[in-house]
Each structure stands twice: as C-alpha cells, then as structure tokens.
Structure 1
Amino acid sequence: MMNYAMLFPGQGSQSVGMLGGFAAPVVAQTFDEASAVLGWDVGALVREGPEQELNRTQRTQPALLAADIALWRLWQQRGLPPPTALAGHSLGEYAALVAAAALDFSDALRLVERRGALMQAAVPEGTGAMAAVIGLDDAQVAALCAAYTGEGVLEPANFNSPGQVVVAGHARAIDWVLGEAKTHGARMAVRVPMSVPSHCSLMRGAAEALFAEMAKIELRTPQIPVLHNLDAAPRREPDAIRVALREQLHRPVRWTQTIEALVGDGIAAFVECGPGRVLCGLGKRIAKAVPALPTDDPAAFDKASAAIAAAG
C-alpha cells in the first residue's frame, strides 16, 4: 500500500465558484451544513461572491474549511486507503484535525470564524501587510528582516519552499522589503493579497484570545497523525494540540520542514485536498521526486483517486 499524505490548503486558495464542477451531493451538503452552523449562506458566497466578501478573513476561513472538508468527505466515499499522515497550511491545519477526527466539523467552523474575526481586529485595516520574498533561503530572509531598522514589526511568516518565504508585519516595513529585497540578493519581492499580517507577533493578542475559545471546544486524539505548522511534529494530547494552534497564529508556518518530515517518514505521494493547487506547487519545489496530486476539479480528483487506488 502506498504511504501518502493528505494536505489541506489555507487562505489564498479560495475563489468564487470553487468546487463548482462537482455534482456529488456531499459537496453541496457540506456547504449547507456549514451554513446551518454559522447562520449565513456559505454556499451562496462560494458560488456567487462577491469576491471582496469572500476574501474577508472572517468569511474566507470557514468557507475554505468547508471546501476542504467537502472534498475530504468525497474522498472518503471512494473507499480509498486512508492517508498515512495529514497536514494543513495555516488554516488548513484545522481541516486536517477534522479529517483526523480530532475536531468536530461544527466546532471547527465556529472556531475558524472566530479566528478570522480576531485576526481582522488585531491590526487596524491598512496598517499590516505581507510579502513573498523570492530567491533567498530561510536564513537570508531572517537576516533581511533583521536588517530593517525602521518602526514596526517585520518577521518571517511562512517558510513555504526553498527560495520562497513570506514575511509579515507593519505596512511600512513591508514597503521597505519591496524596495530593498533585491539589494539583499532576492530575485524579487511581491505583496501578498492578505488583509491581515498572519503568523507574526502582531497576532499574539489574537492567539491568546483564540486559545480561550479553544478551551470551550472538545479536542480528541487524532486517528491519523497531523503534523503541525509550528514544528512539523504530530501531537496526540488535546492540550498540546491547543497550544500548537495558539502558537501557530503568531509564529511562522514551517511548510518546507513539514514536507521534508513527511518524505523522511516514507511518504510516497501528496494529495492536495481543497481548492487550487498551491500546495502541489510548493511540494514539487521541496520534494521533486514525490508526486503531488491536486483534487480541485472532477477530472483531477478522479485522476488522484485512481492513482491512490492503483497503488493500494
């Protein structure tokens, strides 16, 4: 049997009309379930937009969680061998915990909606930003951030793949990165369209408030190991999972390390379970020899499921 890992994408993979090609009832049912839990029409927002509303962090997070879980449920209906391990990028970590039966879908929806609201409130609109730095390794990006002597925060936020690191902080600091990155050896630096500066110290207050919310929610031992963004390590104890989710919000996403850990544990294929193909692209840069299979449209989903079924 092939050892494969299921990867769940996070914020940035959403789009109006995502999963629109899937006719399977479970997809619509999952969006309907999310709507009933949250009290607003998740499916309508996903189908019709407007894009600006879907891209609001408080809306994006539950909508994308629902999309990830809709495809996970469809995958389960195929009767395929279960993945050996799970991981999710940022928000996707919550979908991974739902898939591992460590967190109920309804609780996850409420939690990520609250997470989005706390993140949005943590930094006044327009004062925070993020940028992708291309062409520098992790240590060089850390040095670039340390070279900033202006006012405000500038920190590595996502170690996404070799040569692609996202930084976060105050908007004035990100403006500095956009202007100075090439002089420090970067090939380019581009602003990331995010409404909040995620995974940096500006989110510390939001992380503590989220931790208080998590105390009200039941967490269980994952039935499938989930590697956490914090350190690419799995956790079994619910209290340890809560701490990892708290720390994740204001510390960097270590995605390169996560993929390398999975490959080191014998993972022979990755399946991206959600809209878009961001994680497939990153996987190919980190572990070129390991197939990365998208599932974001019916043809890709069928191809991925057939590949896993054949290997199993």
Structure 2
Amino acid sequence: MTQFAFVFPGQGSQSVGMLAEMAANYPIVEETFAEASAALGYDLWALTQQGPAEELNKTWQTQPALLTASVALWRVWQQQGGKMPALMAGHSLGEYSALVCAGVINFADAVRLVEMRGKFMQEAVPEGTGGMSAIIGLDDASIAKACEESAEGQVVSPVNFNSPGQVVIAGHKEAVERAGAACKAAGAKRALPLPVSVPSHCALMKPAADKLAVELAKITFNAPTVPVVNNVDVKCETDAAAIRDALVRQLYNPVQWTKSVEFIAAQGVEHLYEVGPGKVLTGLTKRIVDTPDSVGAERAGGAVCGTYAIKEENHEL
C-alpha cells in the first residue's frame, strides 16, 4: 500500500469565505465550527465567512479559525471512510491541528489554547516593534551570518526554514530590516517584509512561551494514534511531557519545515496531502523533494477543497 502523510498549514492560509463550498456539501464542517464557537464564546463560522479580513487576521482569531478548518476537513475525511495516514506534521500553528487529529489534544481544549497562544504572542511584543521578512534565494548559513552581524544588540534570527532558498527571519523591526539588506548584499534575490505584527519563533517570544507552558500543563495529552513530526526537533514524540515541551520551545525556536518534509519522505511516504485552506505547504513541498507527491487543500479558484482532492486519488492510497 502506498504510504501517505497529512500536513497542516499555519497562519497565512486563512481567507474570508474559506471552506464555504465544503460546508454546503458536508454538514460536519459547520458542526465543527459550532463546537469551536461554543468553546470560544463567539461565532467563529460567521467570522470566517463574513469577515472582515482585518478581524480574521488578528492572530488570536486566525489561530482558532485555521485549526478548526483543518479539523473540519479531517472529520470529512474520516466520515467518508478515508484511511489513516502514516504520519502527520503541521507548520507552526498547524502542529496543534495535527495533534488534535492524532487524538493527542481534545479539540475544544486546543481551540481555547491556540486563542491564548495568539494573545500571548501579541502581548510579548508591542505592535510595530517586531518584524518578519522572507529571504529568497540565499543559503541558510549566509542568512544566519547576516542575522548575527545585523543584530547590533537587538534580536533577529532565521525562524522558518520553509524550503531550500526560502527562509523567514524575525525579530526587532530595525534588526530585521538591517538583516534583510545584508542578505541582499550577500546575494539574496529578494528580502520581502511580511505584513505581520508578531515576530514568531524568535527569542522575543520567550515570555509568550512561558505563559503558554502554564496553560499546556492544565491540558490532558494522550498518546498519538498517528505519529506527529514536531517542528523543533523533527521527531515523533509519544510522551506527553515531551510533546508539551516541544510546543513550548516551538514558540521561540525555528520551524524546521524543510527537514520535516525530508524526514517524512525518508520514511517511505510517497504522497503528502495538505489538510486546510490554501496550498502553501503544497508549494513548499514541491521545492523540497521530488517525492512525495503533494496535493493541496484547494484546487485552483478555491472551488474544490482538499478532501475532494484526496478522494479523487483514493485509488492510490
């Protein structure tokens, strides 16, 4: 049997109106959002369908919205009799989606947890003082060197190793700008500032991680039904304490996505399916390895969602 894995996207994949067509065909989508709404105390489905986008894009609302979208698609997959993947992984926030779908964290607990995660992240860095930039077309070592030389007493570091030639840096806004210029001087094709208010996965997130650790300790963690590759160590943990620890460290350490996909491929996995709105991870995967195959969560135009794409190729699974 062909081995396949599910991967779950992080922030940036959200959009107003996401999963509308899936909801029209599968009632469990709105039912899943209703569960999340009950946990949060507001109508999450209305926010995702009606916006406004600036509200949906606030990190403490983006995170539960994306987690719920991914869990809804997973439930459709299960309802349709889909097979269990060999592995799961998620990019940043997506790691929480993977842990819910693998049975590690209760869905309602996770929804509340990622809302708090978003609030802690925003509180850690005053708005306007942090920044992130995507560095395109420069090797990892040169990016790390540029960050080190550009810090000048501030924080700036590589935080998302997304694919070969695409690394995101984060830290204090001025330091990120200096490092971006240094990367271009070192040969980077582009240094693209990202429209975010929170510099994720850098040392500035340590206060948020400390608060998150307190909340994680209150939640029951179960053994995963499917191995989940974590972001920071590129390992599949089964011990609850180790999973919690990795989630805490994830907040102020880089997302090792390139290594995660390479690890998944090395386990004999031939197909990756992105479970969530958008196709960010699908594009990254194709730049990391020739195989596994990668199928996005939405086809062109957003008319057909990822679960359909999975079923469409069900003969291969």
Q: TM-score, normalised by structure 1?
A: 0.97
Cα deviation, residue 300, structure 1: 4.5
Mean alpha-carbon deviation: is it higher for 13-22 or for 155-164?
Answer: 13-22
In structure 1, give the amino acid aligned to 2:234: A
Task: List per-residue Cα deviations over 1:5-41 (Å, max 9, x = no partner).
Answer: 1000001111111111211101111111110110011
Q: Secondary structure at the match of 1:111?
A: helix
1:81 and 1:126 mapped to 2: Cα distance?
A: 45
In structure 2, give the amino acid aligned to 1:19: L
2:188 and 2:139 mapped to 1: Cα distance?
A: 9
Cα deviation, residue 99, structure 1: 0.5
Q: After superposition, where does 1:138-177 map in structure 2 within 5 Å?
A: 138-177=140-179
Cα deviation, residue 149, structure 1: 4.4
In structure 1, give the amino acid aligned to 2:166: Q
Give the equivalent residue in structure 1 for 2:18.
Answer: 18
Give the equivalent residue in structure 1 for 2:237.
Answer: 235
Give the equivalent residue in structure 1 for 2:309.
Answer: 303
Q: After superposition, where does 1:1-312 map in structure 2 within 5 Å?
A: 1-22=1-22, 23=24, 24-296=26-298, 297=302, 299-301=304-306, 302-307=308-313, 309-312=314-317
In structure 2, give the amino acid aligned to 1:82: M
1:252 and 1:41 mapped to 2: Cα distance?
A: 33
1:62 and 1:303 mapped to 2: Cα distance?
A: 24
Task: List per-residue Cα deviations over 1:28-65 (Å, max 9, x = no partner).
Answer: 11111110110011001100111111111111111111
2:109 and 2:305 mapped to 1: Cα distance?
A: 30
Q: Tell me, which stretches of 5 or more residues in structure 1 are unaligned?
A: none
**Contact persistence 1:3–1:84 (CA under 8 A):** yes
Task: List per-residue Cα deviations over 1:252-282 (Å, max 9, x = no partner).
Answer: 0000000000000101000000011000000
Cα deviation, residue 208, structure 1: 1.0
In structure 2, give the amino acid aligned to 1:310: H
In structure 2, give the amino acid aligned to 1:9: P
**Contact persistence 2:151–2:179 (CA under 8 A):** no
Cα deviation, residue 150, structure 1: 2.6
Q: Tell me, which stretches of 5 or more residues in structure 2 are unaligned?
A: none
Task: List per-residue Cα deviations over 1:210-229 (Å, max 9, x = no partner).
Answer: 00110100001101000000
In structure 1, give the amino acid aligned to 2:59: T
Cα pair distance change 1:250/1:306, threshold 3 Å: same
1:303 and 1:200 mapped to 2: Cα distance?
A: 35
In structure 1, give the amino acid aligned to 2:199: P
Cα deviation, residue 298, structure 1: 5.7
1:287 and 1:220 mapped to 2: Cα distance?
A: 32
2:203 and 2:187 mapped to 1: Cα distance?
A: 25
Q: Secondary structure at the match of 1:233?
A: coil
Q: TM-score, normalised by structure 2?
A: 0.96
Cα pair distance change 1:110/1:163, threshold 3 Å: same
In structure 2, give the amino acid aligned to 1:5: A
**Contact persistence 1:177–1:189 (CA under 8 A):** no
How many residues of Structure 1 are paired with residues of Structure 2 in the alignment? 311
Cα deviation, residue 295, structure 1: 2.2
In structure 2, give the amino acid aligned to 1:299: V
**Contact persistence 2:138–2:165 (CA under 8 A):** yes
